[in-house]
Amino acid sequence: MSHLLPLSRVAKLVGQSRHTLQDMIRSGALATFDGMIELDELLRAFPEVKWDDDAEFRRVTEIKDQAFARRVRDLVLPDKEVLAARLNELGNDYASAQALLLHYGNVMTWLDEKIDELDEGASAETHHALHSVRAFLLRNMAEMPPNAAQAQALIVQERMLKIMSAHVTIQPSGHAFFVEGNETILEAALRHGVSLNYGCSNGNCGDCKARLVSGKVKKVHAHDYVLKPAEKEAGAILLCSYAPVNDVVIEANVAGARDIPVQQLSAKVKSVEVFNPQMAALHILVPRSQRLRFLGGQSIRVSIDGISGRYAIASCPCEDRHIEVQIPRRPGDAFAEALFASVKANDRVEVEGPYGEFVLDEDSPRPVIFLAFGAGFAPIKSLIQHAMSLELSESMDLHWLADAAGHYQDNLCRAWADALDNFNYVPHSPTEDLDTLLRAIALDYPDLHRFDVYAAGSAAQLERAHAQFVREGMHSARWFAWADAD
């Protein structure tokens, strides 16, 4: 029986991105079976990989975590009951393998006896053939395969990964992610930017109800919401209360921009980050019991002491309770003036949203060009981090066309480019000849018809960019834009 591995786990084992593996699959360099990769095929495609050396993978992961401003989480073992269940599963696998080996040994004994039986009274030709078969079987059973040591190291590493984390696939969307440590399925999904339905996130409302299609789960948090007997029989679980024991498939809806309701909640200011005299970021921490559901690229209205403004979210949905909005200092914007002058940590802030449909097309396999005009970098940043978290795009190119505020997060963009093979960053200085610059950017892509383009800036900037890109071959339907209200 073949040893099959999901693509996400293979990426961890070999220290490569899923995009790299998908490119290999498309080119024929790596074969798959029902979306899975066989052990022998993996050893053939990566003969030189050291299975205990994933330093490069860790480096990329650390930079991604830093970019997303995720909470620092120690590497912890799963919940003790989940860990016991996973070890029990591993023990069952080991017992099955041992039983199969014993059976194979018996089969070899039976074959040997059958050969002796057939050999009695056989012709010289048959005698020679039977003993040739016996010699062939004995020789091959005695010889160790040339990659046996690699195969053993790979299986050990994969088993350790399965103890520490479990792989979750969501149907029908196809989203996939790992549940690490003490996380529930819902917590892991949100950490990876997968927008599953949920409400209270503590087992009271039932909004995160889903169906377990395959695999095993363990309840790790009690819940007050009562599942009906028929629902339990059909495999219904609450994602906020269960953790996977092994790799599981879940049937659940992944929300789009129109599926997420407008929410109102009270939060507090975590910090105010002033990049320069023209640009600052407001970092908000929402309550554990009332997190904001949103998608990368959407906007919110924020209010402090009766002063409010609507701004694009600059953070990723994967950032747990943290929300960032980047606010330019503009004449007449009372909220921006208050932010630069008096807003401080722990101030109460009212949040309303999300708004807008400037979100990723998660079904598109196309490479992506991001155009950020000045402060339009904020929603673009959110989209990029969301795409990174979901591992969506074949490639991503960011063109940041600066205004007076400059490239105020230039180091962050360069860190993305350094860490990710499929990300390219091109900063552009302020210019009075915008049309020439836009045309030059478009001409850098002779196959522009293959790309999705996400652009954020003023309405006038977007109109000129759209015209230039369509003129150079972009399909107008693959243009997604966010217009600054200013």
> Cβ–Cβ contacts within 10 Å for residue 311, how many?
24
pLDDT for 55: 46
Q: What percent of the chain has pLDDT over 90?
A: 57
pLDDT for 68: 54
**Tens-place pLDDT, residues 259-305:** 999 999 999 999 999 999 999 999 999 998 788 999 999 999 999 99
pLDDT for 439: 97
**Tens-place pLDDT, residues 179-214:** 988 899 999 999 889 999 888 888 999 999 999 999
For the ranges 25-39, 96-110, 168-182, the maximum mean pLDDT occurs at 168-182
**Tens-place pLDDT, residues 120-172:** 888 889 888 888 988 888 888 777 777 777 777 777 777 777 888 899 999 99
Which pTM does this prediction carry? 0.80
**Tens-place pLDDT, residues 357-412:** 999 999 898 999 999 999 999 999 999 999 998 887 679 999 999 999 999 999 99
Q: Which residues pair with 438 in a beta bridge?
A: none
pLDDT for 49: 64
- 466 vs 27, more confident: 466
**pLDDT > 80? residue 65:** no
Q: Mean of the pLDDT values across residues 16-22?
A: 78
Q: Is 359 exposed, middle or buried (0-12, 13-18, 19+ CB in 10 A)?
A: buried
**pLDDT > 60? residue 460:** yes
pLDDT for 2: 61
**pLDDT > 70? residue 175:** yes
**pLDDT > 60? residue 236:** yes
pLDDT for 147: 74
pLDDT for 52: 46
Q: What is the overall mean pLDDT for the chain?
A: 88
